[in-house]
A and B are shown apart, each in its own frame.
Chain A
């Protein structure tokens, strides 16, 4: 049986390989451009971004949160499936762990361009300050990365050994008994992976949620909200990837799995909607006109909140709540894409609204860090939209993520055989 996986890896369709070459070429181009822009940013400083002293963090941190969420969501779905023996997940469980591993590595990379003095990043290890949630996050992300790599390897090492890959790292035994042993080990590791995935995103939430300086963030609901966003986006990405990879034959499952994933997505969307309601209502009800929550309904960011609710929550929920539509892969993928967009916008709203409203609104306001076109160095509030440079750096890192994922799909045995 083990030779089957070897065949499916080597026998890539000829038409697909040309598309693959173009795809990899585009990704490498994106990576090189992003890297060049990062060098340019290192030379000229973060002034090439549109972040300033009143909107301190921007698209780098938004995308960082988004990718930590993608990873946590993917691993929660994969390990919960393993832990509760949801056999239906089995065909895509390896894919989900690959997704979790690649996205957490991407998230870690996304921090680097945000640093003003990235060359001193070693200070995080030499002089850690254990009261800082950022150090908690760094620690948990590194542990989590190692854990998901180990988890992935445990899932695959017998298949890797069977095809004689160096990635088996000395594993030779490919007997059914050894496979059963590993199957049990993945169960044990799922016990660690599930809480670790919850923790990795809770701590990311605490980076924001523990800061009393920002009223929009300082809330106990942040970790649950982050976890629910992670579940929606992680499941959505795994679903999309599963349908894409299925076309190459490297994973195989029936459309009914899509239906199951779509139904699960509807549940996660409902939870997300509930938590967003809890958060917004608690901010809105007291009727304090200066509260940042009002920016969700009026002003420049209001369309973003509309997208978050309508495109990201209502439409995919309505689609996936109907069993007839869940059975059709194109609707499942559409709903997943919309949910992904919605969660990204949700996270962007969280950052720009949380930071954009100055704690001190007395005129002339906050010094911005560079002189502005109108001659003033101050502003009482500000709006943020990323500069072209920021987009290019983010695209480069996302391109690297896509390249890693493409290579993983190409070279790793993704087909899981159900133990019988």
Chain B
């Protein structure tokens, strides 16, 4: 049983019945604070140097730097974790079936099966998988955060976002969704037309990354519609 956050974690039976779990990230709401990334590291005991979730800047050539010349500046954030593709190239590539697609749409990793060949990382067009080049180092140690929810990973295996499989199988939201201070991350069943994610995707223009590669990602970005230039905002 997962640790529950009182007042926030309310089990939702719909998540347990889902056939295609997916996520929608609202670029109008995302402020690029990395709370999701930090919560993810804590929840999943991700080692130093590894990230299951990172917040990419769509704009200039460095983090948090907009594109353009003042006042016509544009910037948005593309917070990125595993896209849990419907046609996952990593699952095809894995020679030992260590990475696999679950019936609810989650692409999961069996850390006891992985031989560390890193072919899945080669196959992923999104760089969403990370490798334990050394025995994972946690700071603060895993023992002072959430204990025992995530299987420990040895050195030499690949890991990545699992949509917090331990929490979602209990009907709880992934930790990054809970942690987001602006409600930019929305989670639900893409196959359910009445789920919040499906409604948002119907109502708002959205995109997925590299649609031409046919991977069919389950993580969609709602395109920024608000004033996107400083001049416009002022």
Residues on A close to B: CB < 8 A?
A: 44-47, 49, 51-54, 56-57, 111, 114-118, 120-121, 123-124, 127-129, 131-135, 138, 207, 211-214, 355, 358-360, 362-371, 377-378
Please measure, in the bound complex, the distance between the C-alpha atom of A128 and the C-alpha atom of B94, giving whole angstroms.
9
Distance (Å) between the CB of B78 and the closest chain A CB?
6
| Interfacial chain A residues near B126, Cβ < 8 Å | 359-360
Contact A212 B56 (CB under 8 A): no
Contact A363 B115 (CB under 8 A): no
Please measure, in the bound complex, the distance between the C-alpha atom of A135 and the C-alpha atom of B96, giving whole angstroms.
8
Within 8 A of A (CB), among B113-129: 113-119, 121-127, 129
**Shortest Cβ distance from A138 into B: residue:** B95
Contact B89 A45 (CB under 8 A): no
Please measure, in the bound complex, the distance between the C-alpha atom of A130 and the C-alpha atom of B135, giving whole angstroms.
30
Contacts A56-B131, A362-B78, A377-B49 given; does A117 touch B157 at CB 8 Å: yes
Interface size on B (CB < 8 Å)? 53
Distance (Å) between the CB of A205 and the closest chain B CB?
14
Can you add 16 more A-B contacts, CB < 8 Å, to A358-B127, A359-B125, A371-B49? A45-B133, A45-B135, A45-B155, A47-B134, A111-B117, A115-B116, A116-B156, A118-B115, A121-B115, A127-B113, A129-B97, A134-B93, A211-B93, A364-B56, A369-B130, A370-B49
Distance (Å) between the CB of B210 and the closest chain A CB?
7
Stretch at the interface among B59-67, B142-150, B180-188, B190-198: B59-67
Please measure, in the bound complex, the distance between the C-alpha atom of A138 and the C-alpha atom of B96, giving whole angstroms.
12
Contacts A363-B61, A369-B50, A369-B132 given; does A212 touch B125 at CB 8 Å: yes
| Interfacial chain A residues near B122, Cβ < 8 Å | 56-57, 211, 213-214, 355
Please measure, in the bound complex, the distance between the C-alpha atom of A115 and the C-alpha atom of B78, giving whole angstroms.
32
Contact B157 A116 (CB under 8 A): yes
Residues on B close to A: CB < 8 A?
A: 48-51, 54, 56-58, 60-63, 65, 78, 80, 89, 92-98, 113-119, 121-127, 129-135, 154-158, 209-210, 213-214
Contact B95 A362 (CB under 8 A): no
Looking at the complex, which one of B51, B80, B96 makes contact with A124 (CB distance below 8 Å)? B96
Distance (Å) between the CB of A378 and the closest chain B CB?
7
Some 21 contacts from A to B, beta carbons below 8 A apart, are A44-B134, A46-B131, A56-B118, A57-B122, A116-B115, A116-B116, A116-B132, A116-B156, A116-B158, A117-B157, A120-B113, A120-B114, A124-B95, A128-B95, A129-B97, A213-B89, A214-B122, A360-B56, A363-B61, A364-B57, A367-B54
| Interfacial chain A residues near B118, Cβ < 8 Å | 56-57, 116
